Amino acid sequence: MIWVTWRQHRAQALTMLGVLAIIAVYALAVGLWMRSSFNSDDLGPCVARSGGADCAATINSFFQQFNRGPVMPLVILFFLLPGFLGAVAGAPVLGTELERGTWQLAWSQTVPRGRWLAVKLGLIITALVVFAALLSAIMTWAWGPLDEVSIRLTPPPFNLEGIWLPCALLCGFGLALLAGLLLRNTIGAMVAGYFATEIPFLITTLAVGPNVFSTTKTVDCTGALCRTASTNTVPPVSGHLGDLVNGVTHAGNHLVVSYTPASAFWPMQFLTGGIFLTFAAAAIVSAVWLLHRRTT
Amino acid sequence: MTQDTASVPALRAERLGKRYGPVWGLRDCTFAVPPGGIVGLVGPNGAGKTTLLALTVGLLAPTEGHVAVFGQRSRAQTPLAMARVSYLAQDHPLYRGFTVADMFHFGRSLNPSWDQALAEARMAALGIPLTRKVKTLSGGQQAQVALTMALAKRAPVLLLDEPVASLDPIARLDFMRDVVAASAESGLTVLIASHVIAELERLCDWLLVLNGGRLQLAGAVDDLLAGHAVLTVPRQLADADLPGRVIERTDSDRHSTVLVAAAPELVLVAADRAGWVAQPVGFEQLALAYLRRPPGQAASLAEPLGSVGSAGRAVAS
Amino acid sequence: MFRFRLDGSSGVPPYLQLVHQVRQSLLLGYLREGDRLPTVKEVAVDLAINPNTVVKAYRQLEHEGLTAGRPGQGTFITASLAPSAEASVPSAAAAELRRSLDRWLRDAAAAGLSEDAITALIAAARRDAAMAAEPLAAAAKERAE
pLDDT band at B272 (very low <50, low <70, confident <90, very high): confident
Count of helix runs (H) and strand runs (E) in chain A? 13, 3
Domain residue ranges of chain C, discontinuous segments joined by +: 1-86, 89-145
Tell which of B3, B176, B180 to mutate to test the C interface (max C CBs under 10 Å). Answer: B180
- Residues 6 or more apart whose CB falls under 8 angstroms from that of A156 comprise A71, A74, A75, A78, A143
Distance CA A124, CA A269 (A): 23
Residue B1 pLDDT > 60: no
Which candidate, B189, B132, B181, places its Cα nearest to that of B159?
B189
Question: What pLDDT shows up at residue B2?
Answer: 45
Distance CA A249, CA C109 (A): 129
Amino acid in the structure at residue B269:
V
Residue A19 pLDDT > 80: yes
Q: Where are the beta strands (DSSP E) in B70-174?
A: 72-73, 85-88, 157-161
Question: What pLDDT shows up at residue C71?
Answer: 82
CATH superfamily of B11-221: P-loop containing nucleotide triphosphate hydrolases (3.40.50.300)
Tell which of C136, C142, C143, C145 to mutate to test the B interface (max B CBs under 10 Å). Answer: C136
Distance CA B303, CA B312 (A): 8
Give the angle A275-A280-A282 at the CA atoms, nearest 5°: 95
Neighbours of chain B (3+ CB pairs under 8 A): A, C
- Asked if C45 and B184 come within 8 Å (Cβ–Cβ), the reply is yes
Task: Confirm or reject contact between C5 and chain B (CB < 8 A).
Answer: no
Measure CA A164 to chain center. Answer: 4
Distance CA C60, CA B312 (A): 26
Task: Confirm or reject contact between A110 and chain B (CB < 8 A).
Answer: yes
Q: Torsions phi, psi of C6, nearest 5?
A: -120, 135
Q: Report the chain B residue with the minimal C-alpha distance to residue C7.
A: B202
Q: List pLDDT tens digits, range B122-149.
A: 999 999 999 999 999 998 999 999 999 9
Q: List pLDDT tens digits, range B202-239.
A: 899 999 999 999 999 999 998 999 899 999 888 888 88
Q: Is A234 helix (H, G, I), strand (E, B) or coil?
A: coil
Supply the DSSP symbol for A211.
G
Q: List pLDDT tens digits, range A247-280.
A: 777 777 777 888 888 888 898 899 989 999 999 9
C50 vs B contacts (CB less than 8 Å): 37-38, 180, 183, 202-205
Dihedral in degrees, nearest 10, Cα atoms B140, B146, B152, B157:
-100
- Residues 6 or more apart whose CB falls under 8 angstroms from that of C34 comprise C76, C77
Q: Which of B89, B105, B112 sits opposite A3 (nearest CB)?
A: B105
Tell which of B95, B96, B115 to mutate to test the A interface (max A CBs under 10 Å). Answer: B95
Are B86 and B59 in contact by the 8 Å Cβ rule? The answer is: no
Q: Is B82 helix (H, G, I), strand (E, B) or coil?
A: helix
Domain residue ranges of chain B, discontinuous segments joined by +: 11-221
Distance CA A227, CA A216 (A): 19
Distance CA A153, CA A163 (A): 13
Q: Report the chain B residue with the minimal C-alpha distance to residue C51.
A: B184
Which candidate, B32, B33, B27, places its Cα nearest to that of B15?
B27
Q: Looking at per-residue confidence, does A23 or C79 come out higher?
A: A23
- Asked if B111 and A294 come within 8 Å (Cβ–Cβ), the reply is no
- Asked if B83 and A110 come within 8 Å (Cβ–Cβ), the reply is yes
Average pLDDT, chain B: 86
For residue B262, give how far its alpha carbon lies from the nearest alpha carbon of chain C (Å).
Answer: 11
Supply the DSSP symbol for B133.
B
Its ipTM equals 0.85
Q: Torsions phi, psi of B240, nearest 5?
A: -65, -25
Percent of chain C with pLDDT over 90: 18
Residue B3 pLDDT > 60: no
Measure CA A81 to chain center. Answer: 9
Distance CA B49, CA B10 (A): 18
What angle, 0 to 180 degrees and rounded to 10, lies between the N-to-C axes of helices B264-274 and C115-144? 130
Distance CA A142, CA A159 (A): 14
Which candidate, B67, B6, B2, places its Cα nearest to that of B37?
B2
- Asked if B89 and A105 come within 8 Å (Cβ–Cβ), the reply is yes
Determine the average pLDDT of the residues in A159-172: 91
Q: List pLDDT tens digits, range B231-244.
A: 988 888 888 888 88
Q: Looking at per-residue confidence, does A64 or B252 come out higher?
A: B252
Q: List pLDDT tens digits, range B102-117.
A: 999 999 999 999 999 9
Are A253 and A218 in contact by the 8 Å Cβ rule? The answer is: no
A and B adjacent (3 or more CB pairs under 8 angstroms): yes
Alpha helices in chain C (DSSP H): 14-28, 40-47, 51-63, 91-110, 115-144
Q: Report the chain C residue with the minimal C-alpha distance to residue B173.
A: C48
Q: Torsions phi, psi of B80, nearest 5?
A: -65, -45
Question: What pLDDT shows up at residue C137?
Answer: 65
C1-86 in CATH: which number?
1.10.10.10
Task: Confirm or reject contact between A40 and chain B (CB < 8 A).
Answer: no
C and A adjacent (3 or more CB pairs under 8 angstroms): no
Measure CA B67 to chain center. Answer: 15
Which candidate, B143, B154, B222, B146, places its Cα nearest to that of B188?
B154
Dihedral in degrees, nearest 10, Cα atoms A184, A188, A191, A195:
-60
